[in-house]
Amino acid sequence: MARPAIRVENLGKRYRIGVEEEQHETLLGAMGSWFTAPISNYRRLRDLSHFEDDENRDDVLWALRDVSFEIHPGEVVGFIGRNGAGKSTLLKLLSRIAYPTTGHIELVGRVSSLLEVGTGFHQELTGRENVFLNGTILGMTKAEVASKFDEIVEFSGVGKFIDTPVKRYSSGMKVRLGFAVAAHLEPDILIVDEVLAVGDIAFKKKCLGKMDEVSKSGRTVLYVSHEMSTVTNLCQRAYVLSGGQIVHQGPVQEAVEWYLDDMEVLDRDNLRLDEVDENERGGDGRLRFTSAYLVDRRGRHTHAPTAGEPVEVVLEYEAQEDLPRVMFWLRIDNHLNVPVSVLHMRSHETYYDIQKGTGRVRCRIPNLPLPNGAYQIKIKAKDYVQGHMLDALESALEFEVSASTFFGSDYTPDINHSTVLMEHGWTHEEHIDASVSPS
């Protein structure tokens, strides 16, 4: 029975968060506090590290609570969750930057954590000096850095800039150099926290490729990101964190869907379109969208439709008066704000006669042709009798395609290479006769 690479039991981390400052109404009160401030400031600073008082004070935050899991050597595991869910805290405990309040962790082998790219870079020093600085901070010896130096420079692509002070680098170049150093560590366990958000697409791909390579060579990788497509590409399993606890775990596809659905449930209560500020919407207001959402094949609300499956965009509205001949349309933009497609009722030469009150419009896409990635939908309604815009919302709905059955095979081109998925077929003939082929 192989020993797990990482075993975590009942892990908990408690933080003291900011205590509210007192407010003073009078000058005298303010002056008094000026003298007592050192005492209260001292208490406040001291409290950051001392917890002997009441355990349940409201300025105490359990950033992690009762987290247990096991990860085996060679596994690539994702951790996903909303902002403040405790992902970074967990990675900090695993990499010994911060210490747990309860529970324990057992790790086998050398751990490298990449919570930031290029830690310890100094602006005034050259790329070369910084490679050594960063490499030794990450736990390499000088000899190790020296032996990999050429590869590092090669990988980073900064080339002849290597002897230039880092302050003259573009921010992308710094990231490249930093990642190149980290990529040449040889840890048994690699911990990565959202470091690829910066850097251009080509480099991001290179990094993901490198991490894939690391995992293929039998090392364990822990990966945190808000980009679901990289999580699904890279990881086999994922844990969903919420409020410092593991709320779901499973194969990556399922965990990501669970998380996105969960987020959708939370969002639906928070973001209703009828609460969108009047300044942020167009139109004359005789009709107002009240809600917009996606519904999947099984009729469930979703934020993560699957490419190749049917999906419906549902728009709910409230009309202030009877409106004959209203046309709806929507525009799908991708993560680069490139319009992917407009779905317009005019293309169908149709319109709806709308009566005062509420209603719902559905737009069905039988076979969602989008590569994995994040998208936004703009929605509009126009009165074609008077030619007036009724309502227009720039960002009514966001969704993320994270899986594809479009071609029914395991290869779907990704968003860096395609904007839409196009149905197509291939044929092949042999021994062609030039005289017959069309000229």
Partner 1 sequence: MQAEQREATATVLPSANGHASSPEARRLVRIEPPTGWQFVNWREVLEYKDLLQTQVHRGVTVAYKQTVLGFGWAIIGPVFSMIVFTVIFGNLANVPSDGVPYALFSYTALLPWQYFSGALSGTTNSLVSNRNIFTKVYFPRLILPLVPLGTGLVGFGISFGVLVVLMIWYAVVPTVWVVFLPVLIFILMLTALGSGLWLSSLALQYRDVGRIVGMASRLLMYAAPVVWPVSLIAEKLPEHYETIRIFYGLYPMAGVIEGFRAALLGTVPMPWDLIGMGTITALVLTITGAFYFRRTEHLFADVA
Q: Measured from the CB of residue 241, what is the shortest distance to Mg ion in angstroms? A: 10
Q: Measured from the CB of residue 136, what is the shortest distance to Mg ion in angstroms? A: 25
| Residue ranges in contact with partner 1 by CB under 8 A | 3, 14-15, 42, 45-46, 48-52, 92-111, 113, 115-116, 119-120, 122, 124-125, 129, 132-133, 136-142, 188
Residue 389 parent element (H or E): strand 388-401
Burial class (CB in 10 A: 0-12, 13-18, 19+), 301: middle
5, 75, 88, 252: which one binds Mg ion (CB under 5 A): 88
> How many angstroms separate the CA atoms of 338 and 75, rounded?
36
Decide: is 384 part of the binding site for ligand ATP (CB under 6 A).
no
Burial class (CB in 10 A: 0-12, 13-18, 19+), 354: buried
Choose the stretch contacting ligand ATP; rule: CB under 6 A; options: 77-85, 160-168, 249-257, 272-280.
Answer: 77-85
6, 71, 77, 81: which one binds ligand ATP (CB under 6 A): 81
Contacts to ligand ATP from residues 3-32, by CB under 6 A: 15, 17
Three-state DSSP class for residue 308: coil
Site string for ligand ATP, 85-104 (x = CB under 6 A): xxxxx---------------
The smaller minimum CB distance to partner 1, of residues 15 and 375, is found at: 15
In contact, 96 and 51? CB cutoff 8 Å: no
Choose the stretch contacting Mg ion; rule: CB under 5 A; options: 80-88, 131-139, 277-285, 332-340.
Answer: 80-88
Per DSSP, the residues of 166-223 read GGGS-HHHHHHHHHHHHHT---SEEEEESGGGSS-HHHHHHHHHHHHHHHHTT-EEEE
Q: Measured from the CB of residue 75, what is the shortest distance to ligand ATP in angstroms? A: 21
Q: Which residue has the tokens 């044929």?
A: 427
List the single partner that 84 binds among partner 1, ligand ATP, Mg ion, none, CB under 5 to 8 Å by kind.
Answer: ligand ATP
23, 56, 83, 435: which one binds ligand ATP (CB under 6 A): 83
β-pair type (76-81, 220-224): parallel
Residues making contact with Mg ion (CB under 5 A): 88
